[in-house]
Amino acid sequence: MSTIEDLPERTLESRLRFTRDMMAGPIYRKYEKALRKTWDPGEWDYSQDRADFEKLTPEQQKGIAMITVRFLAGEQEVTDELLPMIYAAHMLGKFDWVMYLSTFMVEEARHSQFFAIWHDKVLDAVEPDELRPYWIDREKTVDPSGRFSTGEPVYEGLPFYGQQLLDACHAGDIQAIEEGFVRFATLYNVWVEGVLTMPSYEIVIDTCDIWNALPTLRHGFKEIIADEGRHITFGTTACRELIEEHPEYAQIVHDTINLYRGNAVGMLEYQRFVPELNLDKYQLQKVRHYKNRCRELGIDVDQTLIDDILDPSIDFVIGVEAG
Ligand SMILES: [Fe+2]
Ligand SMILES: [Fe+2]
């Protein structure tokens, strides 16, 4: 059995990781930007939000809290499921990715913190039993035409594909790590953050504007969107780097999106609580984001997916995508 004494001596290059190329690269620059753009929800004032919330109708209270409590859970989930990406960056020797991902994890933790404080200060609710009244349990969503299934990309997909990526990392199989990274980053950064969650942010901000209420919630969402923009383009930049070396990885992107295709095709269910919202706007937004992600990845768009998202005859609703 080998012991630690048997290890070869580490080279200088394996200890000193910085290069000028790395520091000029797009992912290192995202790290620098994340440091400059920090914010602290612990310093904010939540009293106006509390006063506004008390003045909303019970239906409006239920509607907005149904969304925010999903964000509270979703942000925690994405914080807690980020680790495989960091492990993969380490195994692939991408130190700029590791540095950037250290800020990414802090930001997801901060988003969780923001929602925890907001619910504590505005609803007096932090713990599961206190939040249960706002958690809307849904039956599994079914497309009445039977064409699309929907699933749980955040609560089932990320832990499942994250575990696969961890297994590849443990095995030290570089090709499996690269493929697993593309699959996991497609699900996490491209699909969940980059397409499905985007309309949820806009819906909350639009709702605050229509009601002229909840300024700190609105401000928090604006800050979160700025952080999410870096998360998304980290994922697409990193995957593009791998796809340029291995064009066959582009198919992994399409296959991963197709696993949860129905989640983008269905309409969001907020409409019941905020009838003033223009729902077509959010379907169009999903298409715009999907096209942007494909462009950033350097891959072809799947026109049939765009047609399905915009098809007015498809009208089943899906729950909140939040993270
Ligand atoms: Fe987040
Ligand atoms: Fe994020």
Helix 95-123 to helix 215-245 angle, to the nearest 10 degrees? Answer: 160
The alpha carbon of residue 254 and the mean position of all alpha carbons in its chain are separated, in whole angstroms, by 18
Q: Any idea what DSSP says for residue 270?
A: G
Residue 180: the pLDDT is 98
pLDDT > 60? residue 267: yes
Residue 306: the pLDDT is 96
Residue 322: the pLDDT is 67
The one-letter amino acid at 189: N
**What is the whole-number distance in angstroms between the Cα of residue 197 and the centre of ligand 1?**
10
**What is the whole-number distance in angstroms between the Cα of residue 231 and the centre of ligand 2?**
5
**What is the whole-number distance in angstroms between the Cα of residue 323 and the centre of ligand 2?**
6
**What is the whole-number distance in angstroms between the Cα of residue 105 and the centre of ligand 1?**
9
pTM: 0.95
In this prediction, residue 280 has a pLDDT band, given cuts at 50, 70 and 90, of confident
Which domains occur in the chain, in start order?
45-318 (1.10.620.20)
The ligand with the least distance to the CA atom of 230 is 2
pLDDT > 90? residue 139: no
In this prediction, residue 312 has a pLDDT band, given cuts at 50, 70 and 90, of confident
* pLDDT single digits (tens) 232-257: 999 999 999 999 999 999 999 999 99
**What is the whole-number distance in angstroms between the Cα of residue 168 and the centre of ligand 2?**
23
* pLDDT single digits (tens) 173-203: 999 999 999 999 999 999 999 999 998 899 9
* pLDDT single digits (tens) 198-212: 988 999 999 999 999
The ligand with the least distance to the CA atom of 233 is 2
The ligand with the least distance to the CA atom of 111 is 1
**What is the whole-number distance in angstroms between the Cα of residue 14 and the centre of ligand 1?**
33
In whole angstroms, what is the distance from residue 67 CA to residue 140 CA?
18
Is the sign of the CA dihedral 74, 75, 76, 79 positive or negative?
Answer: positive
Residue 279: the pLDDT is 78
**What is the whole-number distance in angstroms between the Cα of residue 2 and the centre of ligand 2?**
41
Residue 148: the pLDDT is 80
**What is the whole-number distance in angstroms between the Cα of residue 198 and the centre of ligand 2?**
11
- CA neighbor of 227 nearest in space, from 263, 248, 257, 201: 201
Q: What's the rounded mean pLDDT across residues 309-314?
A: 84
- Ligand 2 (ion): residues with CB under 5 Å are 193, 228, 231
In whole angstroms, what is the distance from residue 69 CA to residue 119 CA?
8
The ligand with the least distance to the CA atom of 101 is 2
**What is the whole-number distance in angstroms between the Cα of residue 114 and the centre of ligand 1?**
10
